[in-house]
Amino acid sequence: MISAGRLRFLARQQVASVLQDSLGLRTDAWVDGQYFRCDVRSDSAQEQGYADGVAVMATYELRARWNTCVSIGLTESDRILVRGKLLRVRAIRNLEEADRVAVIDCEHIQ
């Protein structure tokens, strides 16, 4: 169970755009989705090679109500905008298969 007092951050779902370019490929754009309340926990941060340089990869764990995530259609292909950070969703888990708490594993490239 998740306490309502822990859901103090307002997050916004970012959904991949369905627009296509002249070659028929999906454009790299994100469309605003639904708002939902969550708890944000910072897991770790590490420096690693990224593209042609070095970047800091920070991982976060978000916790939200399971029924809210299901009703807005949150998937692993979405992004989440919370506290000024655009997070890439890596996994969504149903905590203890109880249909109460969604644990959303995310990463942020700085």
**Listed range (7-11, 16-20, 58-62, 82-86) with the worst mean pLDDT:** 16-20
The answer to whether residue 63 scores a pLDDT higher than 70 is yes
Q: Which CATH superfamily is domain 4-109 in?
A: Bacteriophage SPP1 head-tail adaptor protein (2.40.10.270)
Alpha carbons 44 and 86: distance in angstroms, whole number: 16
At 46 the pLDDT is: 82
Q: How confident is the model over 32-46, as pLDDT tens digits?
A: 999 999 999 988 888
- CA 79, distance to chain mean position in Å, is 5
Which residue's structure tokens are 């109500």?
Answer: 65
Angle at 73 between CA 1 and CA 40, to 5 degrees: 45
Alpha carbons within 13 A on the beta-carbon side of 50: 11
